[in-house]
Amino acid sequence: MTSFFETEIDRIFKTMSNSFFDTNDIFEEFKGNSNSGPIFYGYTMTVGPDGKPSVQEYGNVKPKQLPTSDTREAIVDTIVDEKEKVVKIIAEMPGVEKTDVKIFVDKNVVDISAEHGDKKYHSKVPLQHKVDENSATASYKNGVLELVFKQTVEKQTGKKVEVE
């Protein structure tokens, strides 16, 4: 036997699921609407004074209308090795070959992209530490890119003043 709470939760999830797959009025809602503001969508769930949960949708777009891209963002991790004085960027991009990987370093941002067949990746990785761009070495094996930079030592600018 199911409780009232379980029945209500099932009803709520069915309502939420139906709105994800409701495609009848997708284009009608924005027909003739030329707003170029932010796109947002979500649910609020509250419990009324009677103890029954209430789910309401909000936003200016349905889930099926959200902009999509066929480019994926690579899974990226940055490792700083203070002992070795290097910064390593590890990016997981399965399904592409070494020759498909393109890396561009500009100041403190590393732009990584790769494309092979239907697999497309693109990531911009900000560098939090000062590195020597010319020291970069990269290797790619089994879907994992490893990019290594030598850290640069910031020279202290200024003058030490002695107290008399």
Q: Which residues are paired to 77 by β-bridges? A: 90
- Shared domain for 82 and 146, answered yes or no, is yes
pTM given for the model: 0.55
| Distance from C-alpha of 112 to C-alpha of 163, rounded to nearest angstrom | 51
Domain range spanning residue 131? 75-151
Spans of the chain below 50 pLDDT: 26-27, 29-34
pLDDT at position 27 is 47
Q: Which of the listed residues 65, 95, 110 is the one where a domain comes to its end?
A: 65
Return the closest-CA partner of residue 96 out of 72, 120, 123, 71: 120
pLDDT at position 45 is 84
pLDDT at position 71 is 85
pLDDT at position 147 is 95
- Shared domain for 137 and 103, answered yes or no, is yes
Number of domains in the chain: 2
